[in-house]
Amino acid sequence: MTPYPNELKILFPMRELRDYRRHLVALDDTFVVHRRSDGEFLMQLDPMMKLGARSYAKCFIGIAADLEAGYSFVIVDRDRFLADIEALARENAAIKDRDAVERAAQIIAEHTRYCIRDHLEESDDIQSRANRMLIASRPRRTKCIGGEAEGLNQMWGIPTPRTEQLWHTIAGELCDVRAAHRAQAAWQRWTRANRPPMPTAGD
């Protein structure tokens, strides 16, 4: 992931405790960042994707298709997620999807080392690793906690998704000072346009 990739997706697998085991149940809001040839950053937030018997194969095949299209990935607990989603995709795939799942497994295996990173990789800075571990341990939030300041935890009165918070640590390490400044400015513009302020007490 060095230098900063032109097309990046950050995946945050969500698990639920059942029968003393944590089962893969969803992907949290996925943050997608494109960096154009002129250095500008374009962002989008894909909504949470619930995972189940009918969607494991779709998710797995989709990751492979994105890799072929040129995307790089950062995945929280990458190795555990890839092992789980592959096993679940194989187990639950419809007959018509089995060849696609096999092809996806081959593509993902070929790209894992260079295009799919764990959220703790590519970080020599102890503080940055600690920040990523802290973000990865946070629960998903849709409401702000009283007294929060505008910043990475919340922006314009709405909590910042965990994938966006992870992106800030990645961009801060992989971008030079000028590019990091442009990334921050692009994020603030994107946030302002996509997250309307919450009503105030006076409204």
Instruction: Please write the tens of the pLDDT for every residue from 16-60.
Output: 988 878 899 999 999 999 999 898 999 999 999 999 999 999 999
Instruction: Please write the tens of the pLDDT for every residue from 55-105.
Output: 999 999 999 999 999 999 999 999 999 999 999 999 999 999 999 999 999
Q: Which residues, at least 6 apart from 175, have a Cβ–Cβ distance to it below 8 Å? A: 4, 183
pTM of the predicted protein model: 0.89
Q: Which residues, at least 6 apart from 106, have a Cβ–Cβ distance to it below 8 Å? A: none
Instruction: State how far the Cα of 15 lies from the Cα of 84, in Å rounded to an integer.
Output: 11
Instruction: State how far the Cα of 10 lies from the Cα of 30, in Å rounded to an integer.
Output: 6
Averaged pLDDT of the chain? 88
Q: Which of 64, 81, 87 is nearest to 11 (CA)?
A: 81
